[in-house]
Amino acid sequence: EHDGGEMVEAVLHIDGRTHTPMVEPRWTLLYVLRDCLGFTQTKASCERGECGACTVLIDGETRYACITLALEAVGTQITTLTGLMHGEQLGPVQQAFVEEDGFQCGHCTGGQIVSVEGLLRKTPDPTLEQIREGVSGVICRCGAYPHIFKAASRAAALKKGGR
């Protein structure tokens, strides 16, 4: 539902594929991902840039999709949780979260995984302090942080080919 604002085509490169939805300039990337394109693994929660559940990578940088306009993402590479998979197989960060029980209710998990991926792209062998800072933008209401930190360390090992 829109209020008759001018619609424009947005060419969005998401998880290696190009999508061209018609959007209003005021629409957020989160709204376009979830409601226009069906990328429901990107969670809507606070919608105010405070919780991190909607975290995506834009050109490898972690960003909150709820406070990023869809048109700001034109010409970038957007990576969602699904884009971290290898076909039907979990990517290393996702696998590490499973192995280390890095979630409880699961609501923040997508944002946590994408944040860890963003961290590991910059810092392949992070310290605990770097991990804590790297996921600090995503709030876990369950308090599963010790497991999230272990999962991030495990993901670093998996990405380096460790067992």
Structure tokens at 74: 């034109």
Alpha-carbon gap, residue 82 to 145, rounded angstroms: 22
User: What would the pLDDT profile of 43-87 be if each residue is shown by its tens digit?
Assistant: 999 999 999 999 999 999 999 999 999 999 999 999 999 999 999
Cβ(147)–Cβ(109) under 8 Å? no
CA distances from 163 to 102, 106, 154 (A): 18, 25, 9
Alpha-carbon gap, residue 125 to 21, rounded angstroms: 38
Cβ(33)–Cβ(15) under 8 Å? no
| The overall pTM is greater than 0.85 | yes
pLDDT tier, 161 (very low <50, low <70, confident <90, very high otherwise): confident
Beta bridge partners of 57: 62, 79
